[in-house]
């Protein structure tokens, strides 16, 4: 038995023994996902136990070094773990912007002290992070951001406003882009700062959507004092950190193209297909695209772990994955007919299909719009003239 086969057998047995049955059921709603944080909300004992068990083994972040709370697994072992979790339908124990976005940036750009301070907390899900990038006049053109950060000798002083800050009202800390040199060319006067959302001068105002949900906020900074050692990388070089983090964010969002644990379109769709040849053709086309995306995604992850991925490849994956996810939900709605538009009835599980369909519209905006990703692919991967 090769080492990897032995690891697979061991992992399979460990998961069988440790993954609670409830944590093998498909995720039905937001409450089924665990976000951790200073005041974590657990839907059940099983959810809490699953997080603690996985974190105890470093398997919330299996490929991070053990010194920083990770599992110290190789890329091949990490892939085996993911395959074995998928085999039994095991849920991700922790949803975390710390894991999917900030962690990789800290591993590359953080000081040793910052890594030891922040990464283990992220791995254990003890701190919930939010992302302070977008501002009212800086979305696609992110480098135009204006949140002011002044060097006051023994601390930084931050003033300004962010917008669309997902879950800012629930987050404990923020990773934030700030302008430290207003006179420099716009990409060269930005720094990357970490601070506690409980700091004096930080306030959030949830943005109420038509659905009644408030998944994101306006975030205000009014004379917020930030300790000097919470700036990541070099002063005025935060754009490098920001771009690197965006690559990881886009990689994470592209995973939507895989459509959850099975990527399946569901029973309703299969029934509708039997009666409607046009829909059947659309589903067949979708299935081929989904298979191609799955293959591309696996190759991309392998290349990424081997350090061979093109730095702009996450833009390609994000574009393909989010457009595919939108197509998936268009098909679900087409198959459901007018019933799928039900918004509140018990039969429709509170309008699950319609709400999920509408949510996918944001997939091609969050983390950078599809138009921007196409621009990056044209310029950096295809090297098209004039792009």
Ligand X SMILES: Cc1cc2nc3c(=O)[nH]c(=O)nc-3n(C[C@H](O)[C@H](O)[C@H](O)COP(=O)(O)OP(=O)(O)OC[C@H]3O[C@@H](n4cnc5c(N)ncnc54)[C@H](O)[C@@H]3O)c2cc1C
| Interface residues toward ligand X, by CB under 6 A | 130-134, 139-140, 164-166, 216, 362, 365-366, 368-369, 371-372, 375
> At a CB cut-off of 8 Å and minimum separation 6, what does 386 contact?
none
* Cβ atoms of 4 and 76 closer than 8 Å: yes
Q: In the bound complex, what is the minimum distance in angstroms from residue 359's beta carbon to ligand X? A: 8
Question: Whose Cβ is closer to ligand X: residue 12's or residue 243's?
Answer: 243
Question: Whose Cβ is closer to ligand X: residue 336's or residue 368's?
Answer: 368
305, β-bridge pairs: none
Q: In the bound complex, what is the minimum distance in angstroms from residue 133's beta carbon to ligand X? A: 3
16 is catalytic: no
Q: In the bound complex, what is the minimum distance in angstroms from residue 364's beta carbon to ligand X? A: 8
Tokens of 359: 């949510």
Q: Which member of 77, 121, 135, 249 is catalytic?
A: 249
Q: In the bound complex, what is the minimum distance in angstroms from residue 137's beta carbon to ligand X? A: 8
Residue nearest to ligand X (CB): 139
160, β-bridge pairs: 221
> At a CB cut-off of 8 Å and minimum separation 6, what does 165 contact?
130, 131, 132, 134, 174, 204, 216, 217, 218, 219
Question: Whose Cβ is closer to ligand X: residue 242's or residue 324's?
Answer: 242
- Of 69, 155, 158, 73, the C-alpha closest to 117 is 69
Residue recorded with tokens 């996450």? 314
Cα 376 from chain centroid (whole Å): 20
Question: Whose Cβ is closer to ligand X: residue 80's or residue 163's?
Answer: 163
Q: In the bound complex, what is the minimum distance in angstroms from residue 372's beta carbon to ligand X? A: 6
Question: Whose Cβ is closer to ligand X: residue 109's or residue 175's?
Answer: 175
Packing angle, helices 3-18 and 75-87, rounded to 10: 40
Question: Whose Cβ is closer to ligand X: residue 277's or residue 385's?
Answer: 385
Q: How far apart are CA 162 and CA 147, in angstroms?
A: 8
Q: In the bound complex, what is the minimum distance in angstroms from residue 316's beta carbon to ligand X? A: 16
Tokens of 38: 């200073």
> At a CB cut-off of 8 Å and minimum separation 6, what does 360 contact?
256, 322, 325, 326, 328, 329
HSE (CB half, 13 Å, CA atoms) of 52? 9
Q: Which residues are catalytic?
A: 249
């Amino acid at each position: 038995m090769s080492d990897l086969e032995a690891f697979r057998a061991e992992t399979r047995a460990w998961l069988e023994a440790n993954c609670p049955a409830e944590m093998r059921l498909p995720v039905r709603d937001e409450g089924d996902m665990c976000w951790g944080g200073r005041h974590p909300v657990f839907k059940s004992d099983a959810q809490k136990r699953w997080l603690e068990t996985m974190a105890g083994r470093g398997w919330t972040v299996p490929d991070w070094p053990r010194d920083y709370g990770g599992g110290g697994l190789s890329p091949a072992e990490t892939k085996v773990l993911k395959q074995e979790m998928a085999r039994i339908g095991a849920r991700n124990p922790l949803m975390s912007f710390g894991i999917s976005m900030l962690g990789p940036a800290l591993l590359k750009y953080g000081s040793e002290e910052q890594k030891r301070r922040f990464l283990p907390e992220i791995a254990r899900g003890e701190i919930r992070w939010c992302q302070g990038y977008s501002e009212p006049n800086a979305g696609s053109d992110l480098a135009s951001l204006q949140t002011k950060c002044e060097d006051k000798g023994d601390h930084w002083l931050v003033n300004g406003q962010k917008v669309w800050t997902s879950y800012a009202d629930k987050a404990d800390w923020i990773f934030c882009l700030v302008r430290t040199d207003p006179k420099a060319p716009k990409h060269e006067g930005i720094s990357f700062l970490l601070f506690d959302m409980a700091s004096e001068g930080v306030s959030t105002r949830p943005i109420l959507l038509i659905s009644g949900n408030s998944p994101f906020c306006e975030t205000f900074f009014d004379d917020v004092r930030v300790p000097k050692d919470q700036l990541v990388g070099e002063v005025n070089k935060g754009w490098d950190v920001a771009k690197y983090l965006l690559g990881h964010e886009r990689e994470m969002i592209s995973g939507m193209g895989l459509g959850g644990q099975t990527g399946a379109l569901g029973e309703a769709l299969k029934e509708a297909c039997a009666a409607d040849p046009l829909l059947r053709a659309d589903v067949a086309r979708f299935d081929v695209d989904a298979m191609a995306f799955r293959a591309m995604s696996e190759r991309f992850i392998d290349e990424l772990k081997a350090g061979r991925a093109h730095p702009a490849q996450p833009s390609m994956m994000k574009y393909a994955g989010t457009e595919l996810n939108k197509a998936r939900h268009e098909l679900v709605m087409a198959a459901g007919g007018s019933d799928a538009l039900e918004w509140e009835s018990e039969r429709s599980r509170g309008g699950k299909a319609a709400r999920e369909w509408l949510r996918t519209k944001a997939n091609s905006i969050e983390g950078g719009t599809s138009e921007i990703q196409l621009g990056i692919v044209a310029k950096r991967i295809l090297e098209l003239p004039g792009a």
